[in-house]
Chains A and B, each alone.
Chain A
């Protein structure tokens, strides 16, 4: 399998549930990202990991907890979410931008999350 794979594709969860989103990349990249895509809003960068260390955390509520056990896998742990957290969650990977600063990010198909 190639590219960036996200599971599950669809998830419905109650506000008291705990669930996890999984992302796996087979591109040999060393940076991975979580983005949130809500209707009528620009994509929001949530977290960035490079070489398995978190390098960006854009004021995301603590009910979202990322985990990057290795350079190929990224998780987003969810607990006590709110209905407004319903969105498409996109994972992406790239080579570390380094001094070139080129972020050629490749995206997965996303997980459509609905919080009820």
Chain B
């Protein structure tokens, strides 16, 4: 059982480049989300989805887009990378929103130069 799979594990971008972070889960979870983790700031929610075709913004959505065309996949797109987006990104899913705990992918370390 793969759980939550994130790719790539590491990425270096130049300012202005775009890229997509991939996230897939095989647990039939309805809730999926993206977080970024920066030193001293904890995990902050970027975007989330409560089901296929439904997405919404979290605490820090600017500069990121998401889509949820299937239950399994929830990609995160950086439109025009900026050094402020250097961070560790985690995808997480949950079976039933608030009542179930989050399961995390193993993260993507992104550096924007």
**A and B: bona fide binding partners:** no
